[in-house]
């Protein structure tokens, strides 16, 4: 599975995903150029790790409407972003290994 991860990765999510044999591309900023460079058009999952970049969900879905959106971060999503998000996981409740395994 192709995963585009946007944001920081303090919980080792990239390593956990790669251990499950997922292909991971990391983009520091979830703007249109950053997402396109990371391969959002070919991605199966958009994984956001920073709530401050929630607006990037709309951009990602515009570029790839079939994308599965997963947020792995503490906090709450704005309403517009929550409607486009398939799954929100709090890192305090579920570890990165479990998330990678379930994807």
d(CA 102, CA 55): 25
Q: Biggest alpha carbon distance in the chain?
A: 33
The Cα 57–Cα 61 span in angstroms is 6
Q: What are 50-99's pLDDT values in tens digits?
A: 999 999 999 999 999 999 999 999 999 999 999 999 999 999 999 999 99
Indicate the class that CATH gives domain 2-102. Answer: alpha beta
Any idea where the domains of the chain sit in the sequence? 2-102
- Helix, strand or coil, per DSSP, at residue 4: strand
What global pTM score does this model have? 0.94
């Amino acid at each position: 599975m192709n995963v585009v991860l946007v944001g920081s990765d303090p919980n080792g999510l990239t390593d956990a995903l790669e251990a499950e044999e997922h292909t991971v591309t990391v983009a520091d900023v979830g703007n249109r150029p950053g997402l396109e460079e990371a391969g959002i058009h070919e991605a199966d999952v958009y994984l956001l790790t920073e709530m401050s970049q929630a607006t990037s969900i709309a951009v990602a879905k515009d570029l790839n409407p079939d994308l599965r959106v997963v947020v792995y971060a503490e906090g709450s999503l704005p309403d517009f972003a929550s409607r486009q998000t398939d799954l929100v996981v709090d890192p305090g409740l579920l570890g990165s290994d479990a998330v990678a395994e379930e994807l």
